[in-house]
Amino acid sequence: MVHSLRSYLLITCGGFIQGMGMALFLFPHSIPSGGAGGLAVLLNYWVNIPLSFALWLINFSMLVAAIYWLGNASAIGTMYGITITSLSVHVFSFDMYRPYDNVWIDLVVGSIILGIGVGILLRQGVSNGGMGVLALIISNIRDIAPGKPLFLLNGSIFIVTGSIIAWPIVIQALISQWLSTKMVDIIFHLKKLVFFEQPILGWRKKSKKEIR
């Protein structure tokens, strides 16, 4: 129980930091923070599904994948992390927190903060939602840090949706993803994040036989 509480404390910190990076620095410039939003735009464009429902459908599908591939503990932690992130986005979505407004400064600072938050979440064996689930599954199977697969997944989606979203924003999104996923790998490879860090919620890697 103590270890679970410690893990949830880190998940809370990761979700809070991730939401702060989104709300303060990226969203004000309409820079997407991940590939789930890009897939939602594609579904809306192709079959006219409302963006809000499309985004929910994608995240729900990813949670189902998390349950199947990573186990119930990781899925529960992911849902909790997504909730904390949403609350953080709401808290920081006020102009009082924005003393300046420069898209490139915000892009760099926001991407670094976003990457720190996502890295803390993935380090605890939970996803930040969206493509983070697939990145964590690939990381689990291939025994690699999740930053590279996360960048490739999100980057591919941004390129595909380039004809729908303004190209400058897509380019900014790719730069943001590169910076944030570099931070993800740095955080993921740290020997110890904080002095009380413990393994997450009984999460473990599945063997290849179990995955099949």
Domain ranges in the chain? 2-95+103-211
Proportion of the chain above pLDDT 90, given as a percent:
16
Around Cβ 13, how many Cβ atoms within 10 Å?
Answer: 18
Q: Which two tokens stand for residue 101?
A: 């407004």
Q: Which two tokens stand for residue 196?
A: 């009380």
Q: How far apart are CA 45 and CA 197, in angstroms?
A: 43
Q: Over 70: is that where the pLDDT of 133 sits?
A: yes
Q: How far apart are CA 104 and CA 205, in angstroms?
A: 38
pLDDT attached to residue 53: 75
Q: Select the more confidently predicted residue: 196 or 178.
A: 178
- pTM of the predicted model as reported, rounded to 2 decimal places: 0.74
